[in-house]
Chain A
């Protein structure tokens, strides 16, 4: 009887440990998105960089969005770059284990070091994992990474998914087969699948109701008037003439160069 009790206790303990391990493994799974900015702005399709040490700078240019899926030590990063700060391209997919990473393409998996993406400092910065496959930084919020000279390098806006629900196979492109065709499962981007709640709709604007001090009033937005407003130009010569005849701007009578009277 006493032996049976001991056995039962051991079984219960083993079950508890197993359940704990499973829960811990589940808890380790993580899914998050980093929206990556660098100091500067987009101008005519070109990124005009700006150097600043101010971590709260608002002059930021969007450069990429990265969707991460992690079950340490394995991880997956789907990197979408932008060339204009407005639209995102197709994702580059990197799958890793610890510090090792491969780029998955339709042609196969290439170690990051041997792929052209490995030369891109923004991509290298986006896939920094330790040997246990963990990424640095908090689970959510604004993260500022500095360059070696102390200036702001990257600014990340991180959001985590509460209940990660991705398939483990997505972290292992070779798991289903060694065949090239089956790599397709690895290169199918999953990041977009969870965007359903905010996917853009046509956004056609009909009658809106706007709040005013006198209560809500119906308004039909007039976009044509705004296009006319944008198209209305007065010209630099007219403006110059307007300032000159009014004694304004550079033609203002001033007692000093600041425009302030002593």
Chain B
């Protein structure tokens, strides 16, 4: 009887342990699911256009703090005209686009949320015609259209303390802006870049530009690989040969041919005809 009682006690203890372990496992699984749900909810947090512009303004100020914005009115006007021509093909009607040139030999272009788009003097120096500039600016418009930086911010740890967009102000907004600026300076995902390429190609072509402009510019960059001014571009964008192949494939598939490239106007406006 005594042995039976001991056996029963041992079985009971084992059952308790097993139940406890099962409960722990279930609780852990539930916690994991809750964490996943919280992450998903955070990525779905709506950010209004007004707040997107406010965040973008802060990121743009950071870009302008790193590289000075050109005060060359004629050049700024020209870049705005090309930019607005391609941006007119963007179906987002809630954004006013602003374009500016950054005075740096570094070759790059940036798009902050809310429509603040920059191209560097170094990039302009490597371009040969207006279609190439249009292709680069249209690619940046594509980033704004798809809210790539905003989506990076949504996925970031910075958003853990944000319950709704009303919390996006003051110090919290500053941290969000910092996260967005870091995303821009270190590079967006390969998928985001490819998506911006596709949209840029579409916008530039629909605006009447030669759809090969962006591919021609990227191919030329590839020939300058290893040079200082383009090193940051290579570090923050997918491999140029891969991009060129993909851009050409899209243009072929979508039957995008023809269009203006306007080399004379580009030279006149950017280099004063030199």
Contacts and interface: CB of A to CB of B under 8 A. Distances in A.
Interface stretch (B4-12, B18-26, B75-83): B75-83
Interface in A209-254: 210-214, 217, 219-223, 225-226, 228-230, 232, 234, 238-239, 242-243, 246-249, 251-254
Interface string A182-203: 0000000000000001111111
Given A85-B50, A221-B65, A246-B265, A142 B44 contact: yes
Interface stretch (B192-200, B201-209, B216-224, B240-248): B201-209
Interface in A20-66: 33, 35, 37, 41-42, 56, 58, 60-62, 65
Interface residues of B, number: 72
B236 A142 contact: no
A141 B39 CA distance: 10
B61 to A, nearest CB: 4
A229 B69 contact: yes
Q: Is the interface of A mostly helix, strand, loop or mixed?
A: mixed
A179 interface: no
Nearest to B134: A248
Interface in B153-176: 161-167, 169-174
B171 A210 contact: no
Nearest to B78: A242
Interface of A: 33, 35, 37, 41-42, 56, 58, 60-62, 65, 85-86, 88, 140-142, 155, 157, 159, 197-203, 205, 208, 210-214, 217, 219-223, 225-226, 228-230, 232, 234, 238-239, 242-243, 246-249, 251-254, 259-262
* 8 A-B pairs closest in CB distance: A252-B208, A200-B170, A213-B235, A221-B61, A35-B164, A203-B170, A248-B208, A225-B64
